[in-house]
Structure 1
Amino acid sequence: MRFVRFWRTALALFLGLTFFTSGMAKLYYQHQFWGWIGPVWLAEKLQPFQLGLYVAFVAASQIVTGFLLITRRFWLLGAVFLVPMLANILFVTISLQWAGTPYVVSVLLSMNVALLLSEYRRLRVLWSEAAYVPPPTQPVRTIKGHIVWGTGLLLTLSAVPVSYVALPLSYWLALGGIVLAWCSPFADSYSLSRLKTTTS
């Protein structure tokens, strides 16, 4: 069971970092954001076909989906979102006849499917009547925790326009947003402890 949790977390973080950095690199000032998967110049390449806005939408979706996977709070939702995104990217790269890229995307899609299969008990409610019963060890989520996580997402997204004005500050905003979202479980714990105190 620990092994399953380990490789599931590793897959989620890898896919999250892959698409988070890919989206940021496409939208950042002069593409000055690290990312191993590209191309960062996709908007410029497709602009003559009036597809610049489409590329910006895909990049923003990659940022949000990657953020969902990295910060772990809503990682399963991020994995679900990643399926149509990867399928879209796969067929675009096949249509444009990019050598090698469809194979890379196919591997990433297979990894994402494996990630989803690891949580089939939670997802089977989509096609069966079997109810999902969460384990007693599953952490309780609170409104305060959601607010902290959402604030982290907004901070991270704000890094993109800030990069055109103050590039070093934008990196701190991106990192700070991720760290803040990672701290959302502490906000959950604090809210629950305050609730127990007031009810006792």
Structure 2
Amino acid sequence: MINQLFQKKLSYFLIQGISIFLGFTFWGAGMAKLFHEHQFFGWIGPVWLIDELEPYGLGFYGRFIAYSQIVIGYLLVTTRYKLLGSIMMIPLIGNILMVTISLDWRGTPFVLGFLMLLNLILLWQYRDFFRPIIDEGRSNYNVKARFLRTGNGHLVWLAGLSLQLIAIQVSYINWIAACSVVLLGLLLSALSFYLDKKNGVDTPLNTQKL
């Protein structure tokens, strides 16, 4: 019994860790591309992707990738919408992979392959949640009732995401203020879990099968 509980906890923290790692990787990469002089924390690049694509008339496409990285990465780094984020991660990595292959960037495809593997591990963990998608809404799960009970949590989380986008503009005025806005957004998104608990709703983190 104790061994099973330990394995369950270990699996839980492993999935949480993968989600946060993937989320920080792509969220940080997107923010670094758009922050003033690319002054943001992140380990994967290139931060100058937009400048690299400009000569080909693809600067707007580069910005699209950056904003996609922010939104999808934020879904994962905050761990609230891991399933949605990991599903959206597949076409995102596919788009980035095509860019790197087209520009003949050696090594980057292998990094993306590793990140895709982690993402597939995350998706496999949530395989049971695909039933409502396959059945196109014919599941007995009352989505509307749950959404009404977690509405405040969703809105607070969305406010946190909005602050990330606002921080990009603030970075052109003051870097410290921009980082403060980023941290405030993360704090708001963390608060969304508290609101769910206050409304008596178990999050997917508590109800998932591990």
Please indicate the TM-score interval, normalised by the length of the shorter structure.
0.7 to 0.9
Residue 128 of structure 1, CA deviation: 6.0
Partner Cα distance (2:149, 2:168) in 1: 29
For residues 1-200 of structure 1, the aligned pairs below 5 Å read 1-127=8-134, 131=139, 142-192=150-200
- Deviation track 1:69-109 (CA, whole Å, cap 9, x = no partner) reads 01121121111110100011112211221110111111111
- Paired amino acid for 2:184: G
Q: Flag as ranges the 4+ runs of structure 1 deviating above 6 A.
A: none
User: Which stretch of structure 1 is more off in the superposition, 149-158 or 119-128?
Assistant: 119-128
Cα distance change, pair 106–173 in 1 and its aligned pair in 2 (3 A):
same
Residue 132 of structure 1, CA deviation: 7.8
Residue 133 of structure 1, CA deviation: 6.5
- Deviation track 1:109-166 (CA, whole Å, cap 9, x = no partner) reads 11101110111011144446995869xxx9x951111121111111121100110112
Cα distance change, pair 141–31 in 1 and its aligned pair in 2 (3 A):
farther
Identity of aligned residues (%): 42
Residue 45 of structure 1, CA deviation: 1.1
TM-score (norm 1): 0.87
- Paired amino acid for 1:118: Q
Q: C-alpha root-mean-square deviation of aligned residues, in Å?
A: 2.3
- Count matched residues: 189
The answer (yes or no) to whether the contact 1:122–1:132 under 8 Å persists in 2 is no
- Runs of 5+ consecutive residues of structure 1 not aligned to the other structure: 194-200
